[in-house]
Amino acid sequence: MIHNISLPAGEFGGCHVQDFFAGCIDVSQHSSFHDIATLRVSSHLFIRRDGEIVQFVDFNKRAWHAGVSSFKGVEKCNDFSIGIELEGIDHIEYSDLQYKSLVQVTKSLMKTYHKITNERICGHSDIAPDRKTDPGESFDWNRFLRSI
């Protein structure tokens, strides 16, 4: 499942996303962090704008990235999905290096986890359409799916 995140919203770089996923975000760094400081959120991977891949959760363990969700009639997507966060925001294009890293990691995951197929790769907006919009209109699904 593909997501996007930036902290503060629309700002890239820095350590805030990593701190958030590690549960130690410093609320004094930005006023918006007060709203998320008590949330327990994690992702398997985070792909920075420069293509760097940061792993937070083992692929065989549950990450808390989907929230209230349903995929093809099955609820609680955290129980059976892999969450990949792209450093970004819905309306800003993702970098070429991010697509390159996302394609690379997706191909590797597909070799290991045979249930992952093009038809089962989705965005956060697909499994929680009433509350999520990511990875957003700027994510080029055709480019990504053609590359894997």
34 CB-contact burial (10 Å; exposed 0-12 / middle 13-18 / buried 19+): exposed
Question: Please, which residues have CB within 8 angstroms of residue 67's CB and are 6 or more apart in sequence?
Answer: 78, 128, 131, 132
Distance CA 57, CA 52 (A): 16
- The pLDDT > 70 percentage for the chain reads 100
Average pLDDT, the chain: 97
Q: What is the pLDDT of residues 21-57, one digit of tens each?
A: 999 999 999 999 999 999 999 999 999 999 999 999 9
Q: What is the pLDDT of residues 85-100, one digit of tens each?
A: 999 999 999 999 999 9
Residues 56/46, Cβ–Cβ less than 8 Å: yes
Q: Output the pLDDT for position 131.
A: 95
Is the peptide bond prior to 8 cis by the omega test (within 30 degrees of 0)?
yes
Q: Output the pLDDT for position 26.
A: 96
What is the average pLDDT across 5-9? Answer: 97
The domains of the chain, with CATH numbers, are 2-147 (3.40.80.10)
Choice among 11, 85, 87, 137 that is catalytic: 85
Instruction: Provide the pLDDT confidence category of residue 144 given band limits of 50, 70 and 90.
Output: very high
* 94 DSSP assignment: P
119 is catalytic: no
Question: Please, which residues have CB within 8 angstroms of residue 44's CB and are 6 or more apart in sequence?
Answer: 55, 56, 57, 58, 59, 63, 65, 82, 83, 84
Residues 37/30, Cβ–Cβ less than 8 Å: no
Q: What is the pLDDT of residues 75-132, one digit of tens each?
A: 999 999 999 999 999 999 999 999 999 999 999 999 999 999 999 999 999 999 999 9
Q: Output the pLDDT for position 116.
A: 97
